[in-house]
Amino acid sequence: MASCPLNNHLQAYFDGELDESRRSELELHLRECPSCTEELARFQAMSRMIASVPSPRLSQIGLYRLHNQIDQAMEEGVLRIVRVLSAIAACVLVAGSAWLVKVRDDRAVESIAPVAPPWADVVEASDSPSGAYSTPAAAWYLADDSARSEDSQ
């Protein structure tokens, strides 16, 4: 029933691949061409049919094969990476919890101000260079800094 030369463009039209001018041209043509109208209706019916078919489900054998492939991938190192990552995460969690407990003990009585992490002590100490340094690292850092600024002056 391919009696119209424009039948060849119907698939592209249906897929929305025609540019503006060709599309309007074809739409005009569709009004007076029963062949193209019928062909287009067939595309639409086919599309609806495909859409209504349920997606394929994995058979028992397919599932078994999929599990085997996953197991194989795990043996090839994926599982090892996951274990390392969880170990790192656990360490971070333990360290963070320990720090939180310590901070709560130290500052619970002093104030309800938001607690600063240990590394913030360096910044706090730099506001008063002559004051006592809260940590050895802060003392080293600030001493080095003041020595450098004296050199440059």
Per CB under 5 A, 137 contacts Zn ion: no
Q: Residue 7, Cβ neighbours under 10 Å: how many?
A: 16
Stretch that binds Zn ion, among 28-36, 53-61, 125-133, 143-151 (CB under 5 A): 28-36
Per CB under 5 A, 6 contacts Zn ion: yes
Burial of 18 (0-12, 13-18, 19+ CB in 10 A): middle
Per CB under 5 A, 26 contacts Zn ion: no
Stretch that binds Zn ion, among 26-34, 46-54, 63-71, 96-104 (CB under 5 A): 26-34
Least distance (Å) from Zn ion to the CB of residue 78? 56
Per CB under 5 A, 36 contacts Zn ion: yes
15: CB partners within 8 A, 6+ apart: none
Q: Residue 104, Cβ neighbours under 10 Å: how many?
A: 10
Binding mask 95-114 toward Zn ion (x if CB under 5 A, else -) reads: --------------------
Per CB under 5 A, 33 contacts Zn ion: yes
Cα–Cα distance for residue pair 44/14, rounded to 1 Å: 8
Stretch that binds Zn ion, among 1-9, 86-94, 113-121, 142-150 (CB under 5 A): 1-9
Q: What is the DSSP letter of 5?
A: G
Q: Which is nearer to Zn ion, 35 or 126 (by Cβ)?
A: 35
Residues in the chain: 153
Q: Residue 138, Cβ neighbours under 10 Å: how many?
A: 19
In the complex, the residues that contact Zn ion under the rule CB under 5 A are 4, 6, 33, 35-36
